[in-house]
Amino acid sequence: MPAPYYVSPEQIMQEKEDFARKGIEKAKEVIVLEYRDGILMVAENPLATVFKISEIYDRIALAATGLYPDYEALRYAGIQGAEIKGFTFNREDVTARWLANQYSQQIGAIYRQPDVKPLEVELLLCEIREDSSSKNRIYHLSFDGTFWEDNEYTVIGGRAEEIAGILENEYSASLDLSDAVKLAARTFAAVETEVDEADRYQVTAETIEAAVLDETRNRRKFRRLLPDELSEMLSA
């Protein structure tokens, strides 16, 4: 019987990390911005069938990028966990901090399991503030289960650093909604100019997906921005 090859734990983890990073490098980006009345999420997404941004709970939304089946499973699990918790206790007991920890545990557990493909995902779990005395929360989750908090603006996906670099100069606090949408679209268009003309992504109201967590709404703060609304904002 041949002896099994010895592979050091460092090498196993390194290979997993390389694998996950490679997957995410190919992924389209999602920009999340805090604006005057809440949190805006914008993704490059030419498909009207598959969403990168979704409602999780009353004040919580998930923006995801990477491999669709992977983040879709996490989205489902998030809604399921949140609804069961809210039904068991109270709706206000469901918080993004709790959910970010759940996600972290699950993603981390899969990452550490031997012979299991790590999840090729990068997530932003957004929670709008309850009232003016609290603040918005944006939890940034990585493929290995680690997470940290971002604020003002943040980006996930392949060219995240480049896009964040642009936003660093352009972003200002208390933008109104249409200015925030324009800023996101402009930023996407700016990184696209570096792509070969043939492969360039056309940023229009039909090819971006956008949603908000809007403080002025009733219990359910999440709302998708419809293509008509987006084109009006972009052309204004």
Partner 1 sequence: MVFSRSDHRTSDFLELLQRERPELLSRFGTGAGGTTSLPDSSPANWKGQHLPTSSVMDLYDNLLEGTTILAAVYNEGVIVAGDRQATAGFQVGERRIRKVYEVDTYSAIAIAGVAGPAMEMAKLFQVQVEFYEKIEGSPLSLEGKANSLSNMVKSNLPMAMQGLVVVPIFAGYDLKRKQGKIFKYDAIGGQYEESEYYATGSGGKDAQATLKKLYSADMPRDSALKLVAEALWDAADEDVATGGPDFIREIFPTIKIIDSTGISDIPDSEVKALYTELLDRLRS
Query: Given the rule CB under 8 A, which residues bind partner 1?
Result: 51, 54-56, 73-74, 76-81, 83-84, 86-88, 102, 106, 220
Q: How many CB atoms lie within 10 A of CB 78?
A: 25
CB of 38 to partner 1, least distance (A): 18
Torsion angle, alpha carbons of 228, 159, 168, 61, to 10: 50
Distance CA 95, CA 1 (A): 53
Q: Any alpha helices (H) in 26-159, and if so which ranges?
A: 68-88, 96-112
Q: How many CB atoms lie within 10 A of CB 118?
A: 23
Which is nearer to partner 1, 79 or 190 (by Cβ)? Answer: 79
CB of 53 to partner 1, least distance (A): 11
Which is nearer to partner 1, 76 or 148 (by Cβ)? Answer: 76
CB of 103 to partner 1, least distance (A): 8
Distance CA 47, CA 200 (A): 16
Which is nearer to partner 1, 72 or 152 (by Cβ)? Answer: 72
Which is nearer to partner 1, 16 or 85 (by Cβ)? Answer: 85
**Which two tokens mark 216?**
């002025």
CB of 86 to partner 1, least distance (A): 8
